[in-house]
Structure 1
Amino acid sequence: MILVAAPGYVAQRGLPQSPLDLADHAGIDAGSASAVWRLRNETGEQVQIAPRTCLSVDEAGVLLQIAKAGLGIARLPETIAGPGLNRNEMVHVLPGWTEGTITTTILTPHTRGQLPAVRAVVGILTEPAPVTP
C-alpha cells in the first residue's frame, strides 16, 4: 500500500516531508474512520500515525476517485494507484514509506475432481495483478 494525493491537494496543502506530517493532513481511508496507518521505510523503521480522517469508504476504486478529486491523502494498493501516478493524475506521497501488502487467501478442499471453472478462478487469483500504465 502506498500513499497518494491529487496534484491540486498537494499544491494547496503541501507535500508531507515525514510520516509525522500526516497528522496535519486530511486522510481518506478504507475502513475505520479512526484508523492508524502503520508505515515502514526501506530501512525497516516503523511509524504509526493517525491522520485526520475526513472520509472513510470501503471500495478502493471509490477511494481512488475521491483522492483524485483532491479531498485528501489516500493509502491504496500500488496496482490501483499506479496508473494515475503514471499519468501524473496523482502524486506519490512519502515514496520511501509503504504500509504493508494485501494478502488474499483462497481455500479449496483439493484439486482432484475440482470443477474446471473453480480451477480457472484459482489460476486467475494466483497470478500477480497487472499494473497498467
Structure 2
Amino acid sequence: MNDLPLADLDAFAAVARERSFRTAAKKRGVSASALSEALRRLESRLGVRLLNRTTRSVTVTEAGRRLVERLAPALGEIAGALDQAASEIDNPAGTLRLNVPTIVAREILPPIVGPFLQARPAITLEVTAEDGFIDVLAAGFDAGVRYEERLEKDMIAIPIGPRVQRYATAAAPAYLARRGVPQHPRDILDHATIRHRFQNGIALPWEFGEGETTITVAPPATVLANTIDLEISAAVAGLGIIRTFEEFLVPEIKAGRLVPILEEWVTSFPGPYLYYAGRRHMPPPLRAFVDFLKVRQRPLSR
C-alpha cells in the first residue's frame, strides 16, 4: 500500500474535513466529480469504505476517521515543505557553488559578490578558483565562469564582468636595462620569460595582435607556474618578461615595478560568461544570481 497516490489521500482528507464534495471541490479549485473519482480509486485500492455519502450528506466511516487522524500530521508536513520550497523563489536560500578562473576570482567577482550577498543574505557563496577546464556539473558546481573558447555548446551563457579584456606584456625596469627592450613579438624568443602552465600541464604559446596580424611565439621559460602571484613576483624580481591579463599587471605598472612593452601588440578578447545547464528548475541561489547579473548589466534608461 506504500504506492497510494498522495493526491488521492489529500482529496479524501479534504472531503472528510468539509463533509462535502462540493465545498471541498470549491476550496481546491477542482470539480466535485474529480474528488469523487479520487475517493473511488482510494477505496478500491484499500478495499474499505472511507466515506458514507448520500444525496443529502457525507459522513466519515470509522476506518475513514482513523485514516484522517493518521494522515493529518503527514499532510501538514508536506504542505509546509511545499510552501517553503515555493517561497524560495522570492526568498532564495542555500549555497551557490561557482567554479571560476583565477582572473575572475581576483578581478571580476569582488565588486559583484558584495552587493549580491547584501541583497540575498540567506545565500552562501562557495567559489573555487582554478584555470583548468572541468565539467562543472559533474564536479558538484551549480555554474562556472569561462571564456568563449571554453564554453560548452549545450550550456546557457550570460555575460559577467567587462565585455572586453586584454592581454598585455611587461618586464621589470632592471631586466629591460640588462637585456634590452623587444621591438617585435619574435624578439621575445631571445629573452627569458615567465609563463603560465595550466593544471593539465599545458603552457599555451603567446599570441600577439588580432585577426590576420596574429603572431604566435613559444618562448623559453625561466619560470613556469600555475599561480599568478608567483609569476608576477618573478617578473618584478627581473627574472623575465611576463604576458598575462592586463588587470594583473596594472598595479605593478602604476607602481613602477613593471614597464609595459610591445603596447601596439596588446591583444583584446571578449570578457567572460557565467554558464549553467538550463533555465528550468534552477536552484534558487543560482536563479537569484542570474537575475542579479541581468539587472546589473541592464543599461540605464535616459
2:270 paired with 1:64: no
Give the paired residue count: 125
Kindly state the Cα deviation for residue 98 of structure 1 after the two structures are TM-superposed: 2.6
Extract unaligned runs of 5+ from structure 1: 129-133
| SS of equivalent to 1:106 | strand
Which has more helix, going by share of residues? 2
Fraction of identical pairs, as percent: 26
Kindly state the Cα deviation for residue 122 of structure 1 after the two structures are TM-superposed: 8.3
Per-residue CA distance 1:39-73 (angstroms, 9 max, x = gap)? 116x8511111212122111222211111111100
Mapped contact 1:34–1:53 kept (Cα < 8 A)? no
Letter in 1 for 2:245: P
Question: 1:33/1:110 Cα in 2 relative to 1: closer, same or farther (>3 Å)?
Answer: closer
- Partner of residue 85 from structure 1, selected from 242, 247, 253: 253
Question: 1:58/1:87 Cα in 2 relative to 1: closer, same or farther (>3 Å)?
Answer: same
Mapped contact 2:196–2:203 kept (Cα < 8 A)? no
C-alpha distance in 2, partners of 1:111/1:83?
Answer: 42
Q: How does 1:37-76 map to 2 (within 5 A)?
A: 37-40=206-209, 45-76=213-244
The higher relative CO (CA closer than 8 Å, separation ≥ 6) is in 1
C-alpha distance in 2, partners of 1:9/1:81?
Answer: 16
Q: How does 1:1-133 map to 2 (within 5 A)?
A: 1-31=167-197, 35-40=204-209, 45-101=213-269, 104-108=272-276, 109-110=278-279, 114-116=283-285, 119-120=288-289
Kindly state the Cα deviation for residue 5 of structure 1 after the two structures are TM-superposed: 0.8
What TM-score, normalized by structure 1, do the two folds share?
Answer: 0.75
RMSD of the TM alignment (CA)? Answer: 3.0
Mapped contact 1:106–1:122 kept (Cα < 8 A)? no
Per-residue CA distance 1:83-116 (angstroms, 9 max, x = gap)? 1111211111201113454754432333876434
Q: For the pair shown, which has the larger CA radius of gyration, 1 or 2?
A: 2
Extract unaligned runs of 5+ from structure 2: 1-166, 298-302
| SS of equivalent to 1:66 | helix
Question: 1:60/1:121 Cα in 2 relative to 1: closer, same or farther (>3 Å)?
Answer: farther
| SS of equivalent to 2:256 | coil
Mapped contact 2:235–2:241 kept (Cα < 8 A)? yes
